[in-house]
Structure 1
Amino acid sequence: MWSSGLQDNAVVYACARGTLSLPWNLTLSGGDSVMDIQWFYSGRSEELIATEVHGQFLMLPAFSGRVRKISNAGIEMDGVEAIARGNYSVEVVGQSAAGAVTTLRRSVFVFISDGLQTTDEHLHVTQQPVAEYDNSTHQYHVVLRCGTFTHPTHPPFEVTWETPSGKTEQSSSYKDGSFLLKLPIPVEGGTYTCRLPPSAACLHDNRTGEATLTVDKMEARLAVLEARQASLENVNNELKTQVHDVESKNNALESNNNDLTTKYNALKTEKDVLENLLLNQTVSFHARLVSHQADLPVGSALILPTVVSNHGNAYNSSTGKFTAPYTATYCFLATTEDFRNGLYSVMSLVVDGTEMDYVRTHDTNYYQSASVHAVLHLTAEQKVWLNVQQPNNYFWARATAFSGFLVDHSQ
C-alpha cells in the first residue's frame, strides 16, 4: 500500500532547468514483493519515462542520463523544461505472500515554470482599489497584492512583507494568484516591500524577487471611508426595500383579515362538528358459533360466523377478526365450553398475533367453561381475534361467543 507523502492527484511545482522530485513510496508487508514498476508522462506527448523489472532500472532514450530512482517507487528528473508540464504517474505491479497479483497506480500534475512563476516578468505590488471588509475584525482594510502567480493553488512557498516601520509581516492569505496583505487600522503610510524566497520562486537570470509600493496614508484612510460609506448606502437601500415589502405585505394582510377570520371560523365549526361525530361513533359487536368446532389447526383464528350485532362493521365474520377503526380504548370478552371427557378448549386473545390473554378448560370433566377478557388501547387498523392454542380441541357452539366495544376515544 502507499505510504504517506505524495498524495494521488496532488499538484507539484518545479523550476525550469531544475530537478523534479516525485517521491512515491510503498509500504510492503511481510512476504509482499514488487514485480514491475513503470513511470509515465502525459502532456504534450504520451511517453514511458522508465521501467524497473525484477530490480533492473531502465530509462527510455529520451530520458537517458537524467532520471534516477528514489525511495522504492519514486523518481527524480534533472533539467526539466517548462513545456514538460503535465501528468506524471507511476504503476506498480506487486505480488502478495499468498500469490495474488495487485496493480497500484498514482498520478500528480506537475507545473514547471520559468522565472518568477508569474504572469509578468517581474514581481510587482499593487493596492486594491476598494477596501475589503474582514469578518474577523469587523472592519474595512486596505489590501495589498503581491504578484500574479500562475499557481492554481497556494504555491509551495510564502512571501514576506516589510512595513514602512521595518516590521516583517506574513501574508494574510493567497487568492486569485496573489499573496494578500491586509493593512491594520489605522493605516501606516510609507513603503511596503514584498519579498520572495529565491529558491522557491525559481529566480535566475538576475531577476529580482522583491517589489515595493508606497502607500499614501490619507488616500488609504479615504479608501476605507469610501468603502464604509458604500456599505452604509447598500444597507440603507436594502432596509428601504425591506420596509416597502413589509408595508405591502401588511396592507395585503389587513385587506384579507376579514376573509381569513371568516374562513377560520368556518373551519373551526367544521372541526367541532367532525370531532363530535367522531366522539359519538358507536363501535360494538357480538358474534357466536353456528356449529360445534373441533380439531382446529393450532395457531388458526377461531371464526365465529353468526353475527348478532356489528355496529361500525369492525368485525369480519369471514376471518373472525376485529379491526380497530380508530385509535382508542376497547373492551373484549370471549367465552367457550368443551363437551365431554378427553376434549378441551384452549384459546388466547391476540392483538396482531401477540397474546394478550389465555384460557383453557380441563380435559377430565364434562362441560368445562372458560372466558377471557381484556381492556386494550389500540391504534387504528390493529386487529384482534381468538387464536386456537392446542390440538385435540373442542368448542361448543351453544357456549362460545366473542364480543367487543369501544370504551374511550382518547388518544
Structure 2
Amino acid sequence: MFGVPLRCSLLYFALLASGEKISQKFSLGAFREDFKSVEETCQAVGYVKRNCQNVSATHIIAFHVQLKNDVGNLGNNAKVVFETVVLNEGNGYDAKSGIFTTPTSGIYVFDWTAAAPGARHAYTALRVNGIGKAWTNCHYGGNKWMTCSKMVVLKLKKGDKVQIVVHNGPGYLMKKNTSFSGYKL
C-alpha cells in the first residue's frame, strides 16, 4: 500500500537532485504541485497503474488464525489445521483444510507461533506447495510450556498453497497460544 507513494517520492527527490525542471520554491504548495506532476508522469509511463487514492480495502490480503483446541500426538507431516479464524481479508485461508491459497501473486509475509506443553515438543514447518520453506524446533524439558515463533518473507504466485505442518512428530500444540498469520506486502 505504501510502495507507490514511496516510489513516486523517491522519483521526485531523484529528479530534484538531477536538476530537472522542478520548482525550486520551498513551500508545501509547490511540493504538492511538483509531486502531482511526477505522479502523473509515473502513471503515463505505466510505472503506476492506478492513482494511490483509489486503493481500497478490497486489495488487502491478510489472515490470522488460531487453534480451537489443544492437539497432540501429531505425526510427521501432519497438517496443523487452525479452526478459529480471527481475520481473513481476501478469503485466502480455508479453515477446513488449514491451507492459505494466495489470491494474487506477490511478496507475502508469514508468521506462526507454536506452543508446546511441558516436556513435549512441537517441531513445525511452513510449506509452500508441499516444499518446506521455514522451520521451528520448539522443545522444553521442564514442566512449563514454551513458545517458538518464526517469520518468513516469500515471493509467491497466484494459487500457491501455504500451510503449517509437523516436521518431526509426535507434535503437541496448545490452543490459542498456537497461531498462524500472513499478509501481502
Sort the TM-score into its range (normalised by shorter chain).
0.5 to 0.7
Aligned to 1:368: 146
Out of 350, 354, 361, the residue aligned to residue 127 of structure 2 is 350
- Distance in 1 (alpha carbons) for counterparts of 2:92 and 2:170: 31
CA contact (8 A) 1:349 1:372 kept: no
Residue type of the alignment partner of 2:66: R
Deviation string 1:231-273 (CA, Å, 9 cap, x unpaired) is xxxxxxxxxxxxxxxxxxxxxxxxxxxxxxxxxxxxxxxx858
Out of 82, 86, 99, the residue aligned to residue 308 of structure 1 is 86
| SS, match of residue 403 in structure 1 | strand
| SS, match of residue 159 in structure 2 | coil
Aligned to 1:339: 117
- Distance in 2 (alpha carbons) for counterparts of 1:280 and 1:315: 16
Taking a change above 3 Å as real, the CA distance of residues 368 and 279 of structure 1, as seen in their structure-2 partners, is closer
- Distance in 2 (alpha carbons) for counterparts of 1:381 and 1:340: 38
Deviation string 1:104-156 (CA, Å, 9 cap, x unpaired) is xxxxxxxxxxxxxxxxxxxxxxxxxxxxxxxxxxxxxxxxxxxxxxxxxxxxx
Aligned to 1:398: 176
Which moves more between the two structures, 300-309 or 386-395? 386-395
Residue type of the alignment partner of 2:89: H
* 1:7-22 to 2 correspondences below 5 Å: none
- Of structures 1 and 2, the one scoring higher in RCO (CA 8 A, sep 6+) is 2
- Distance in 2 (alpha carbons) for counterparts of 1:287 and 1:401: 6
- Distance in 2 (alpha carbons) for counterparts of 1:312 and 1:382: 14
Residue type of the alignment partner of 1:354: I
- Distance in 2 (alpha carbons) for counterparts of 1:398 and 1:313: 21
Aligned to 2:102: 324
Deviation string 1:321-370 (CA, Å, 9 cap, x unpaired) is 111111111110000111121x1111001111111111112241231210
Aligned length: 135
Aligned to 2:155: 377
Q: What's the offset of the Cα at 1:280?
A: 6.2
**Structure 1 gap ranges (5+):** 1-270
| SS, match of residue 397 in structure 1 | coil
- Distance in 2 (alpha carbons) for counterparts of 1:313 and 1:279: 13
- Distance in 2 (alpha carbons) for counterparts of 1:326 and 1:380: 4
Q: What's the offset of the Cα at 1:277?
A: 5.7
Taking a change above 3 Å as real, the CA distance of residues 323 and 278 of structure 1, as seen in their structure-2 partners, is farther
Q: What's the offset of the Cα at 1:286?
A: 0.4
Taking a change above 3 Å as real, the CA distance of residues 272 and 319 of structure 1, as seen in their structure-2 partners, is same
- Distance in 2 (alpha carbons) for counterparts of 1:297 and 1:347: 11
Residue type of the alignment partner of 2:146: Q
Deviation string 1:66-116 (CA, Å, 9 cap, x unpaired) is xxxxxxxxxxxxxxxxxxxxxxxxxxxxxxxxxxxxxxxxxxxxxxxxxxx
**Structure 2 gap ranges (5+):** 1-48
* 1:126-141 to 2 correspondences below 5 Å: none
Identity over aligned pairs, percent: 27
- Distance in 2 (alpha carbons) for counterparts of 1:313 and 1:280: 11
Scaled by the length of structure 2, what TM-score is found? 0.67
Taking a change above 3 Å as real, the CA distance of residues 278 and 350 of structure 1, as seen in their structure-2 partners, is farther
Tell me if 1:287 matches 2:65.
yes
- Distance in 2 (alpha carbons) for counterparts of 1:377 and 1:352: 13
* 1:162-201 to 2 correspondences below 5 Å: none
Q: What's the offset of the Cα at 1:392?
A: 2.4
- Distance in 1 (alpha carbons) for counterparts of 2:163 and 2:60: 20
